[in-house]
Each structure stands twice: as C-alpha cells, then as structure tokens.
Structure 1
Amino acid sequence: MYGIALSVAACLRGGTRVDVAWSLDPEQTPTFDPTDAVAITPGGGRLGSLLGGALDSRLVELSLVGANEGRVVACALDELESSALGVPQGTVVRIVFAPADVLPDEIWEPLLERKPVAIVATKDDDRLRKIRLIAPEGSTGFCLEDEQLSANWAPTPSLVLFGGGPMADALDHAAEFVGWSVERVSGADHAIGIAATLSAIDGIVVMGHDTEAVGRVLQAALGSRVGYIGSIGPSSLQQDRGDWLAFRGISDTRRVRGPAGFPIGARTPEEVAVSVVCEMLSVRNDADN
C-alpha cells in the first residue's frame, strides 16, 4: 500500500476512478512483500505491483465491472499463475479488491508518511462495508473472520546502498537478515532520485572512491527526510567528502555518520556491516522515542 499511496491520492484528487487490491494471504507467497498492493485505473493501467503481476489480468477484469463496493475475491491459481508464484497449482489466494474512494479518506496521509495504518470492515458474504480506520498494532497482518476483516500495514524499512564490492555485499546480507528491503544502486543519478523518496525509517549508505559521485548522493540524502545516512571509508575519504559538500555551501553534515557504524573495532566487511545495521537501528529507535 505504501508504494501506491502517492498515485492513488493523486487520482482521487483529480476525480479519476482507481481500484486498489492487496493479498490477504502473504504466508502463501512469502517471497513477496506483504505490504504490496496494486492500483488499477480505467483502461487497465496498473500502478504498483501485487504478487509480481501474476494476477493482473484477473484484477483488470474486476476493475472493468466498475463495482462501487469492496469485496474479497478467492483466486484458485491456475498453472501459469502458480508457476509464476512458485506455489502448487490450485492454491487459493484471497484478494481484497476495492474502489479507492470506499476506503477512508484519512488512510492516504499516513501511508504517504510511511506510518503504520490499520482498517476494519464489516464482511457480508464477499462484500465489505463500513470500512473505517482503527489504531494500528504490530507488524503487517490480515485477519478475515465470518463477519469482519481487519488489515494492519507496517512499513518495511529500506536501505539503499550506493557503491559495490565486499562491503556492499556484507551490508546487503546483514540488512536482509533483520527484514529490511535492500536496493543496491551503482549510478549517482539513480541514487539521487531514490533518496528523494526515502522516509525517516529508511537509510542510505554510500561507499567508494569517487568523491564527486558520493558527494552528490550525500547532498541529495541531506536534502531528504531519510533517517540514517552512512558514509563508509577511512578518515581521508570522509574529509574529501566533507570538503566537497562544504565547497557547495553544505556545512551542517551532522546527519552523516562517517565512518558509518558503531565503534566496535570492526575489521572485516561483515563486522562493519553488523555495526552499521546496529547504528541504523539505534538512530531509528531514538527517533521513535
């Protein structure tokens, strides 16, 4: 839901119909992010991704019906769908499909801010009525009982890695171990674009000897809302990066953790990665308190 919030909110402001769908059975497809959702606009346009697009054709057909209420759709996966998802043929995945305008108006702002969100709805057969916001609790999860649906979304922290090599490999593994979403980026322009989308729960770590490229990414990160900015490398590289930023009028670099990571005497890339992940967790938890 977090990935489509901006697009859906824009459609609603513009008076464009848009339908939203998400899976109620993330345990059936554990390789996919349980917060994933897809938005479908008139004509079959798709925003975001749900289950890698395996059910898109079904969802487009539902959208063409133009229903004015939410519903729960049980999809028994055919051979192609089950193969794409890596599950046995005939596996049933329950999908919520709803016009965005039947969801509470207040849902989109916290989703845009990447905050936890929860809703509850009355279930009448497969129809959903009286959808309203409730206080979120815990991690992402869904509960469908005889007469009620509850859905709780909690954002997955993202870690963007700019640079490569053994250090990036170790950070990738360490961040995934604690359940974060990791994106590795080699081009500075790409990293700068991603930095603008990051929130307070996310992090970006830069590494490498190209002071110009690393400096540009740090500059973008400092201008964003990202919660953790890490700079990997010895003191000489940190000085070069600081000088590059200062020359461009950026003297307040207190948000940059450089060298990144807690000072635990780390020697190997794996040890450094553990110290960086712990530091990012500490920064995020301090911001929450």
Structure 2
Amino acid sequence: MFDIARELDHWVAEGREFAIATVVSVGGSAPRGPGGALAVDREGTAIGSVSGGCVEGAVYELCERALSEGRTLRETFGYSDDDAFAVGLTCGGTVEVLVTPVRTTSPDRRAFATALAAAARGEAAAFVRVARGPAGQLGRALTVRPDGTYDGGLGLSRQLDRIAAAEARALLEVGRTGSVDISEHGSHCPGGLTLFVESSVPPPRMIVFGAIDFAAALVRAGKFLGYHVTVCDARPVFATRTRFPDADEIVIDWPHRYLRGTPTDARTVLCVLTHDAKFDVPLLVEALRLPAAYIGAMGSRRTHADRDTRLRAAGLTDGELTRLRSPIGLDLGARTPEETALSIAAEIIATRRGGTGAPLTGTETPIHRDTDDPNGIAGTGRAKAVAA
C-alpha cells in the first residue's frame, strides 16, 4: 500500500473511511507484485491498482463489501480457461488479495495512520497484517519503527506482537516486503499464522555527475522512477537550479570528493556523464569500490577504451571494472538527451530486475521475473519476500 501512501495519508487526515486491497502473494506471471494496492472510499473514489486492470472491477466490489460489512476479506484471482472474459488474470498468473476496511471505529486505524504518515514523509516503517489465521484476527495490524517499537497489535498476545515486530524489523532493515509464517507461540512452522509485512524505506538515490543537457533529461527520468536525485558538478555556472529544476539537490563540488563523503548503499545508482578524464577517472576509482546497484559512464567506445586504460593504471582490478556499464545505456539508437535518458533508465531497470534488454517479441523469457533479491541483499532466510 506504500505506493499510494501520500493519497491515503490525506484520506486519513480528512477522516475518510476506506477499504484497501493489497496483493499479498503472486503465482506465475502477474502485473503487480506483493504490496500493490487499490483503495476505495465511502464515496466510491478509487486510487491505486492491484493488477494493472485485469481484475480491478472485482477488487473494487470487494473493497465496497469489506467497507460495508466492516470485516477483512481474502480472495484469489487467476486465469479462467472456460471463459476468457471471466474475472481473472489473462496473463496466466494468480494474485491473492487481502482487503481490509479502515473505518473510524477500526481498531487498526491508528496503526494504518502511523505507517502511512511515515511513508508520506519518506521515513522508514514496516506495516504488518495477519494475512492468514483465525477469522477474528485476519487483517489485524501493527506498525513497526526502525528501532523496533510499534503501534497496534495482532489481537492474540503481546508475545506474538513482539515476535511480529522483530520479524518486521528484520525485513525493514533490508527494505523488503513479503510473508512470514509463524505459529501462535512464535515458532516458524506451517499451520500457524501468515503475516504480510510491507516495508517503506526512503527512496533510493540517483547521483548524476556532470551538469549537461543529457543530465537534465536523466534527472526527469530518475524522478519518474522514484529516485531521490542529486546533480553534482564542480562548475557553478552550469550546476544551477534553473538548469535542473527537477533535482532534489544540486551539489557544486569535485565529483570524486563529493562521492567520497556522501552515503551510498546497494540501491544507489551512479551515472557519470562528465566524459572528461580529469573528472570521471578519479570519480570512477571511488565509485567502483563503493556499494551501488548501478554504475554507468557516458562516452564513445574510444572514450571507454581510453578510460579503461586509465582506470587500470589507477589500480582497479578486472573484478572492479566488470561493475562499470560503459558506454552507458541500452542500444536504442538514441540521439537526443531525452532518448539517451530513456536508454540509461532502461538499463538501470534491466539491471535491477534481471532483464536482458532484448525485445519481448519472439522470446520465451518470463515477462515478470521473480526477482527475489535483485540487489544482492540477503534476507532473514525465513521470509518469502521481494525487494521494495
């Protein structure tokens, strides 16, 4: 539900009653992964999506029913071989949806409010709901903060709430969303409760080095993809708010010096558009030794060959150099700044999701890959999760 947190936070602040349908599991090919959500209020206003259109009508009706009856519902949708127009996913997959009413008298409204407010502010929080268990506990929720404290409860025992909070905190630390199976007494075994944990973490960073026209287009693409975008250039005449109105921050500094002092992690994207050896070589020496999801550098093949020689002379190993995407972007035949930004964004997505970048026409590879851990971050080993 965190993909529509800002809108839902406004609904809560306005005192609206609504029901929220959340994808809690996916089988086969499906448009939305766990955490995708559709919400409907008393007036019939709808926001979000659980399937990209395949079963939205049926889920909308479930939301209205849950809100009217004041109880949580759970439903599975899949492809119908008998009737292609029946409610189902024509892409061939299945999705399981948990529909929870959030009324003014709901015992879990405070937990919802806390989680949504944190996500709307860009803060970290995990939201836990009972996705399978006793009928009276289905949908019960609690919100967990990074320090392990929590609001709400699952309605069974304080011990179970503490265990659920610990499990959610473990997933939150690695920014993951998924299901955890535990017994009522806390052991990990089938036949107990299934908790669905949604993690909201601050947006990943995209740092664009080089204040050029191509960078302005890439900043817009990065914002569209949900990144917190920084532009860095040592030249104050080019690194201006007028040239980069969409950037979250603009830094005037030598790129390698700025990168050395700013935090990066396994979700960070670094795009080097300077294609000037005095800037990009010391910068890439720093970058290729830091945690990052993607490191790309702009330039012609001749520029790349010269850069590769210089980087090896600076002491980078073959293993470190294999992390570099250069020339940056996919082969789309791009020429304009906007087309080039699209090719870079496409390569970032393919790297994150495990895509090939090849046309889907004529291939047999799955359209929706099960990228359980696209950034190479280990989970708890007990949860079925996907990266947020």
TM-score, length of structure 2 as denominator length? 0.45
Query: Where do 5+ consecutive residues of structure 1 fail to align?
Result: 163-167, 169-183, 240-256, 282-289
Query: Where do 5+ consecutive residues of structure 2 fail to align?
Result: 144-164, 182-189, 209-213, 252-262, 290-307, 312-320, 330-347, 352-374, 376-388
Aligned residue number for residue 75 of structure 2: 73
Aligned residue number for residue 262 of structure 1: 288
Percent identity of equivalent pairs: 12
2:124 corresponds to which letter in structure 1?
K
Aligned residue number for residue 96 of structure 1: 98
2:92 corresponds to which letter in structure 1?
V
Which has a greater percent of helix?
1
Deviations 1:134-171 (A, max 9, x none): 24223321246656330122358657698xxxxx9xxx
1:117 corresponds to which letter in structure 2?
A
2:274 corresponds to which letter in structure 1?
G
**Contact 1:4/1:48, CA 8 A, preserved across alignment:** yes
**Contact 2:17/2:42, CA 8 A, preserved across alignment:** yes
- Structure 1 residues 108 and 233, CA gap change in structure 2 (3 angstroms): same
Q: How does 1:163-174 map to 2 (within 5 A)?
A: none
1:38 paired with 2:38, answer yes
Q: How does 1:117-156 map to 2 (within 5 A)?
A: 117-121=126-130, 123-125=133-135, 128=138, 130-133=140-143, 134-135=165-166, 136=168, 137-138=170-171, 139-143=176-180, 148-154=193-199
**Contact 2:100/2:139, CA 8 A, preserved across alignment:** no
Structure with the greater alpha carbon radius of gyration: 2
Structure 1: distance between partners of 2:118 and 2:98: 20
Aligned residue number for residue 222 of structure 1: 249
1:108 paired with 2:135, answer no
Structure 1: distance between partners of 2:323 and 2:133: 54
1:217 corresponds to which letter in structure 2?
F
2:20 corresponds to which letter in structure 1?
V
Q: CA deviation at 1:97?
A: 0.2
Aligned residue number for residue 58 of structure 2: 58
- Structure 1 residues 260 and 34, CA gap change in structure 2 (3 angstroms): farther
Deviations 1:153-190 (A, max 9, x none): 2358657698xxxxx9xxxxxxxxxxxxxxx99487x5
Q: CA deviation at 1:28?
A: 3.7
Most deviating of 121-130 and 68-77 = 121-130
Structure 2: distance between partners of 1:237 and 1:2: 42
**Contact 1:22/1:50, CA 8 A, preserved across alignment:** yes
SS in 2 for 1:39: strand
Structure 2: distance between partners of 1:215 and 1:16: 39
Aligned residue number for residue 232 of structure 1: 273
- Structure 1 residues 111 and 186, CA gap change in structure 2 (3 angstroms): same
Structure 1: distance between partners of 2:285 and 2:123: 28
1:15 corresponds to which letter in structure 2?
G
1:234 corresponds to which letter in structure 2?
H
- Structure 1 residues 34 and 64, CA gap change in structure 2 (3 angstroms): closer
TM-score, length of structure 1 as denominator length? 0.57
Structure 1: distance between partners of 2:117 and 2:216: 28
CA RMSD in angstroms, aligned pairs only = 4.8
